[in-house]
């Protein structure tokens, strides 16, 4: 059990939730994940630690963790919801809106911005998720070619 997981476990306990075998398995799997996981993916990974783990429990545990701000929902490309740990020191991603290729960005200085937000809204900021959308080099090329071909046809037709 690593430090990350101890913290998560402590937070659950601090709010009166029991620390069960299925939940430990889920925490462990989340702590080890390098990317947001859908509930189904999370179940698969957590079953390494608790082979009996049911999908319903994954949903219920994620719900609790989201309420406590331990986990954050993220949009996944394949049509279902993903969850990632809301730990500090995370990285951000740029996602290509056409082919869904992902590039990681290191270094993110939103600290000052977030302090302003906290001061202005009265919220305690527990985390943030910055999704940057764009077009990767390949898709830029593909889209341009598409548009170009169309234009050529238009001219040829005149």
Partner DNA sequence: TTCTAAATGAAAAACTTTTTCAATACGGAA
Partner DNA sequence: TTCCGTATTGAAAAAGTTTTTCATTTAGAA
Alpha carbons 40 and 59: distance in angstroms, whole number: 9
Nearest alpha-carbon partner for 40 in 56, 52, 51, 25? 56
The answer to whether the beta carbons of residues 20 and 52 sit under 8 Å apart is: no
Contact flags string 66-105 toward a copy of itself, x per CB under 8 A: xxxx--xxxx---x-x----x-------x-xxx----x-x
- The only residue of 35, 81, 100, 141 in contact with DNA, by rule CB under 7 A: 81
Contact flags string 139-158 toward a copy of itself, x per CB under 8 A: -x--x--xx--x--------
Alpha carbons 119 and 17: distance in angstroms, whole number: 31
Which residue, 32 or 66, has its beta carbon nearer to a copy of itself? 66
Alpha carbons 22 and 49: distance in angstroms, whole number: 8
- The only residue of 54, 91, 100, 105 in contact with DNA, by rule CB under 7 A: 54
Alpha carbons 112 and 128: distance in angstroms, whole number: 13
Please give the residue ranges that form the binding site for a copy of itself (CB under 8 A): 14-16, 66-69, 72-75, 79, 81, 86, 94, 96-98, 103, 105, 108-110, 113-114, 117-118, 120-137, 140, 143, 146-147, 150
């Amino acid at each position: 059990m690593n430090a990350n997981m101890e913290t998560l476990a402590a937070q659950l306990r601090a709010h009166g939730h029991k620390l069960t075998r299925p939940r430990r398995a889920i925490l462990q799997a989340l702590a080890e994940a390098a990317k947001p996981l859908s509930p189904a993916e999370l179940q698969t990974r957590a079953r390494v630690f608790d082979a009996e783990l049911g999908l319903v429990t994954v949903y219920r545990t994620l719900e609790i963790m989201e309420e406590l701000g331990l986990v954050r929902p993220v949009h996944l490309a394949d049509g279902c919801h993903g969850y990632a740990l809301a730990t500090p020191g995370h990285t951000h991603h740029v996602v290509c809106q056409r082919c869904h290729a992902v590039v990681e960005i290191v270094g993110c200085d939103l600290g000052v911005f977030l302090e302003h937000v906290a001061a202005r809204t009265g919220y305690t900021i527990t985390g943030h998720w910055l999704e940057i959308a764009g077009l990767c080099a390949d898709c830029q090329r593909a889209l341009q070619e598409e548009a170009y071909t169309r234009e050529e046809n238009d001219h040829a037709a005149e």
